């Protein structure tokens, strides 16, 4: 599904945060990218989505080179991005937030209604709160709104950056359950960046560990049961 090959990218011309990183996300699986703060995890997602332009290497989506394609076109190719900070509009209702995910087909009212109804079937809690201002919801529910909005565009690959940062334990558990459901029920490929190692390993199929902008470890999640060995730098 996604191949990131020998990627070099940074925020300044002569300073690469990622130095030859290679990551593969298989179709219909959850691939977790783990590591300490500052090793380049979020930078990787920004490069895959097109926010950052690599100075070396390539990003392939199902064999197609998308390295130089802008973000809005990557959305049309089926890539979506859940950022670390909640990206909801707090003064808008739940349904208004979800409708924003239909921007690319905003004139097709029948399709919009159909997709919203499908979301309510998947997330009945949102249907009960569709007229509620999103800013009044819990952190976990706000993440649910973000996911529902993203599903409007029928993504094939979702990039997820620290999805439970700042959330209470119960809300975080709900978010990981939602991500697992996206894989199992919606058959969506997920590239997950996380610092919550234990919970990420519970839902991941394959794991990469980055250290100082380079690949350090990789393998199936079941090989990472010895956390101290796997993540010791």
Instruction: Please give the full DSSP string across the chain, using - where no structure is assigned.
Output: -EEEEEEEE-SBTTB-SEEEEEEEE-TT-EEEEE-STTSSHHHHHHHHHTSS--SEEEEEETTEE-TTS-HHHHHHTTEEEE-SS----TTSBHHHHHHGGGGGGTT-HHHHHHHHHHHHHH-HHHHHTTTSBGGGS-HHHHHHHHHHHHHTT--SEEEEE-TTTT--HHHHHHHHHHHHHHHHTT--EEEEEES-HHHHHHH-SEEEEEETTEEEEEEEGGGG--HHHHH--
Same domain, 131 and 164: no
Same domain, 107 and 212: no
Same domain, 136 and 162: no
Instruction: Give CA–CA dist 145/157, Å, rounded.
Output: 18
Same domain, 51 and 124: no
For residue 22, what is the domain's CATH number? 3.40.50.300
Instruction: Tell me what pLDDT residue 107 has.
Output: 86
Same domain, 72 and 118: no
Domain edge (last residue) among 130, 154, 178: 154
Contact status, residue 190 vs residue 179, Cβ threshold 8 Å: yes
Instruction: Give CA–CA dist 146/27, Å, rounded.
Output: 22
Domain edge (last residue) among 106, 128, 154: 154
Structure tokens at 192: 């997950």
Domain edge (last residue) among 106, 123, 154: 154
Q: Let me know the angle formed at the C-alpha of 69 by 89 and 79, rounded to the nearest 5 degrees.
A: 50
How far is C-alpha 199 from the geometric centre of its chain's CA atoms?
A: 15
Same domain, 103 and 200: no
Same domain, 72 and 163: yes
Instruction: Tell me what pLDDT residue 5 has.
Output: 96
Instruction: Tell me what pLDDT residue 227 has.
Output: 55
Same domain, 150 and 161: no
pTM of the model: 0.89
Same domain, 95 and 145: yes
The number of domains in the chain is: 2
Tens digit of pLDDT at every position of the chain (233 positions): 899 999 999 998 788 999 999 999 999 999 999 988 889 999 999 999 999 999 999 999 999 999 999 998 998 899 999 988 778 899 999 999 999 988 888 888 999 999 999 989 888 889 999 999 999 998 888 888 998 999 998 899 999 999 888 788 888 888 898 899 889 888 999 999 988 888 899 999 999 999 999 999 899 988 886 654 555 44
Residue ranges making up the domain that contains 2 = 1-78+156-233
Same domain, 145 and 170: no
Same domain, 21 and 117: no
Same domain, 92 and 202: no
Residues 6+ apart with CB under 8 A from 127: 120
């Amino acid at each position: 599904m996604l191949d990131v090959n020998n990627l070099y990218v940074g925020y300044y011309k002569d300073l690469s945060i990622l130095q030859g990183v290679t990551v593969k996300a298989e179709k219909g699986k959850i691939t977790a990218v783990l590591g300490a703060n500052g090793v380049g995890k979020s930078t990787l997602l920004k490069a895959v989505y097109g926010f950052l332009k690599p100075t070396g290497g390539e990003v392939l989506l199902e064999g197609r080179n998308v390295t130089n394609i802008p973000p809005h076109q990557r959305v049309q190719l089926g890539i979506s991005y859940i950022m670390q900070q909640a990206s909801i509009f707090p003064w808008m209702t739940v349904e208004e937030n979800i409708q924003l995910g239909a921007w690319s087909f905003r004139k097709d009212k029948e399709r919009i209604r159909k997709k919203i109804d499908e979301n309510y079937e998947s997330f009945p809690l949102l249907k009960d709160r569709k007229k509620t201002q999103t800013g009044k919801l819990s952190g976990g529910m706000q993440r649910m709104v973000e996911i529902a909005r993203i599903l409007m565009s029928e993504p094939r690959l979702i990039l997820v950056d620290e999805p439970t940062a700042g959330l209470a334990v119960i809300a975080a558990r709900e978010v990981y359950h939602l991500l697992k459901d996206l894989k199992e029920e919606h058959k969506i490929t997920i590239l997950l960046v996380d610092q919550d190692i234990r919970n990420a390993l519970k839902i991941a199929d394959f794991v990469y560990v980055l250290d100082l902008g380079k690949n350090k470890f990789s393998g199936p999640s079941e090989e990472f049961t010895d956390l101290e060995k796997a993540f010791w730098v």
